[in-house]
Amino acid sequence: MLKFEDLEEKPISTQKIFDGNILHVAVDTVSLPNGNESTREYVTHLGAVGIVPVTDEGEMIIEHQFRYPLHRVITEIPAGKLDSASEEPLAAAKRELLEETGIVADEWIDLGEYHPAAAYCSEKLTLYLAKGLHMGDQKLDTDEFLNIEKVPMADVIEDVLSGKITDGKTVCAVLRAAVQLGYLVKK
């Protein structure tokens, strides 16, 4: 069995392919553990945050958003990109929750990190549970259109487990929050 240090792929050269507003694409030539050369196509991304906002009554704020790559509306937790590589994830989470839903939360619980597609994308999301919710002012980005709904947390968990909700950050964050809040109990 290979040791961890024997799995490493070392960069030889980088070819920049695309420098967009959101996506940055490159192809690197790399040296493999067996000494062969190969290429790695990958996307670099600033990083993002996702939030599970739950009311004192056990209701969750979810969003329905049109996702262009899938050509349909899907159900998601509030989420958004970091403004810059140096923005603190918690600050970004507070900003995004307020912008998208108009909600301010008194209590923030870290639900850990999530790598959506480590094989080809550097993006890391930091996930949070937000409690003690009250209303501020919703301030959607230009070009952002959302349908926001308040749903019993137990129903969202059911939809995540049944596969009705498929959005990755939503599945991860909701199930970690479900254990945190006692909706799912370890046997």
Supply the minimum distance, in Å, between the C-beta of residue 163 and a second copy.
Answer: 2
- How many CA atoms, within 13 angstroms, populate the side-chain half-sphere of residue 66? 5
Distance CA 160, CA 162 (A): 6
Q: Which is nearer to a second copy, 88 or 145 (CB)?
A: 145
Instruction: Rank residues 87 and 159 by Cβ distance to a second copy and give the closer one.
Output: 159
For every residue of 11-45, DSSP letters joined together read: EEEEEEEEE-SS-EEEEEEEE-TTS-EEEEEEEE-
Task: Say how many residues touch a second copy, by CB under 8 A.
Answer: 81
Query: Please, which of residues 80-139 interact with a second copy by CB under 8 A?
Result: 110-124
Cα 66 from Cα 140, distance rounded (Å): 15
- Tokens 């479900």: give the residue: 178
The reply on whether position 29 binds a second copy by CB under 8 A is: no
Site for a second copy in 52-91 (CB under 8 A): 64-70, 73-74, 76
Subset of residues 160 to 179 that bind a second copy, contact rule: CB under 8 A: 161-163, 166-169, 171-172, 175-176, 179
Of 59 and 123, CB closest to a second copy: 123
One residue of 12, 13, 39, 58 binding a second copy per CB under 8 A: 39
Distance CA 65, CA 145 (A): 7
- Among 113, 144, 149, 158, which one carries the catalytic annotation? 144
- d(CA 112, CA 180) in angstroms, rounded, equals 12
Q: Which is nearer to a second copy, 116 or 136 (CB)?
A: 116
The whole-angstrom separation of Cα 153 and Cα 155 is 5
123 is known as an active-site residue: no
Q: What are the catalytic residues?
A: 144
